[in-house]
Amino acid sequence: MIAGSPPRRKTPAAICLIGLALGFLCIFLLLPLLTVFVEALSKGLGPFLEALAEPDALSAIRLTLLVAAIAVPLNVAFGLAASWAIAKFDFPGRSVLVTFIDLPFSVSPVVAGLVYILLFGMNGLLGPVLREYDIQIIFAVPGIVLATVFVTFPFVARELIPLMQEQGRDDEEAALSLGATGFQTFCKVTLPNIRWGLLYGVLLCNARAMGEFGAVSVVSGHLRGLTNTMPLHVEILYNEYNFVAAFAVASLLALLALVTLVVKTALEWRFSYVRQGAGS
């Protein structure tokens, strides 16, 4: 159990602990993942592909991609700005600002959807104004995008802030002292230093953006073919007892999760590799 006990052999206690850990992981994580694919293909490949080729499914896929394509770049821009301001300058209230940025993590997704209904809904604060100009936000794509931006808000910033703090200001000051402009410094010095961390943040942000359910469910209105994202489509199919179709769409999302995990692991390996290389 403790390093330094005579041989490096695994003690019975160690084997028990490993078995316990892996057993727990298999039952609670691996099994659900397998279930998705097995259920999706339980009636064979035909019904599986049919479920995906259905017009409502295709429009759900399109909407999900659209929402992620808007929400992720917005959060990248925010994450870069916030981490630059927080990591490169000293100002009072820095830790309060970081806490506020983290706030969406600790708010229930349902509450996240609710706040936009209170703001833009029929009886909401801006409801009458929007109705006058015939702008629809709730139960439409803009509301879905807003709710997604809210729940994925901290992902990129939270990845970049510690990274940029760790890297300090020396590189930027060196570049500026050599005559680079602020923009050049950012593009040629800062960005290459943080690119892997940025990619990591984008990856997690994207996975959550495509998979968000609670917040989007509240603001979407569940209009089939119009405001249904993939997770919402899964719910509808499931509630209609169309299990094969539900799991077929779910398996696409599970595939997305797998890709995310693989790239994430590769990035982590690369991170430690780069760090070790810099250290020696």
Partner 1 sequence: MITLESITKRFATFEALKSIDLKVRDGEFLALLGPSGSGKTTLLRIIAGLAFPDAGRVRFEGEDVTHLAVAQRQVGFVFQHYALFKHMTVAENVGFGLSVRPRGQLPGKTEIRKRALELLDLVQLADLGNRYPGQLSGGQRQRVALARALAVEPKLLLLDEPFGALDAKVRKDLRRWLRTLHEQMGLTSIFVTHDQDEALELADRVAVMDHGVIEQVGTPDQIYMHPHSGFVSDFVGDTNSLPVDMVGGTATFHGQSIFTHIGALAEGAARLDFRPHDVTIADDSDGCLPIVVSAAYRKGGVWRVEGQLAGKAAPIEVDIDSGAPRPQPGQRLALKIERAQIFSRQAAA
Partner 2 sequence: MASLAAPAAIEGQYLDFRSPLRWRRGRKAKRPRSIIPGFGLTMGFTLAWLSLIVLIPLSLIFLRSAGMGWEAFAQVAFSPRAIAAYRISFGTALAAALVNGVFGLIIAWVFTRYTFPGRRMFDALIDLPFALPTAVAGIALTAIYANNGWLGQYLEPLGITAAYNPIGITIALIFIGLPFIVRSVEPVLIDLNVEVEEAALSLGAQPWQVFAHVIFPAIMPALLTGFALALARGVGEYGSVIFIAGNMPFESEIAPLLIVTQLEQYNYDGATAIALVMLAISFAMLLFINVVQAWSRHRTGA
Task: Restricting to residues 2-21, name those near partner 1 by CB under 8 A.
Answer: 4-7
Q: How far is the CB of 279 from partner 2 (least distance, A)?
A: 16
Rg (CA), the chain: 23
Structure-derived torsion over alpha carbons of residues 237, 240, 241, 246, reported in degrees to the nearest 10: 0
Amino acid residing at 184? Q
Residue in 182, 197, 169, 210 with CA at minimum distance from that of residue 80: 197
Which is closer to partner 2, CB of 54 or CB of 243?
243
Which of 111, 112, 59 lies closest to 229, judged by CA?
Answer: 59
Which window, 45-53, 54-62, 128-136, 241-249, contacts partner 2 (CB under 8 A)?
Answer: 241-249
Binders of partner 2 among 85-114, rule CB under 8 A?
Answer: 85-86, 88-91, 97, 99-111, 114
Q: How far is the CB of 173 from partner 1 (least distance, A)?
A: 27
**CB 217 to partner 1: min, Å:** 44
Phi-psi region of 93 (alpha: psi -120 to 50; beta: other; left: phi over 0): left
d(CA 30, CA 33): 5
**What residues from 11 to 50 belong to the interface with partner 2 (CB under 8 A)?**
14, 17-18, 20-22, 24-25, 27-33, 35-36, 39
For residue 120, the minimal CB distance to partner 2 (Å) is 9
Please, what's the b/e burial string for 249-271 (b: 16 or more CB within 10 A of its CB; e: otherwise)?
bbbbbbebeeebeeeeeeeeeee
Tell me the C-alpha distance between 191 and 277, whole Å.
19
Give, as ranges, the residues between 110 and 169 that touch partner 1 (CB under 8 A).
none
135 binds partner 2 (CB under 8 A): no
153 contacts partner 2 (rule: CB under 8 A): yes
Size of the site for partner 2 (CB under 8 A): 102
Size of the site for partner 1 (CB under 8 A): 4
Which of the listed partners (partner 1, partner 2, none) does 6 bind, with a CB threshold of 5 to 8 Å by partner kind? Answer: partner 1
Interacting stretch for partner 2, rule CB under 8 A, among 43-51, 52-60, 79-87, 192-200? 79-87
By a kind-dependent CB cut-off of 5 to 8 A, residue 7 interacts, out of partner 2, partner 1, none, with partner 1
CB 178 within 8 A of CB 151: no
Composition of the chain by helix, strand, coil, percent to 5: 80, 0, 20
Q: Which is nearer to partner 2, 27 or 191 (CB)?
A: 27
Closest approach, Cβ 2 to partner 1, in A, equals: 10
By residue count, the chain amounts to 280
Position 100, amino acid: F
Q: Which is nearer to partner 2, 59 or 260 (CB)?
A: 260
Residue among 84, 140, 142, 226 that touches partner 2 (CB under 8 A): 84
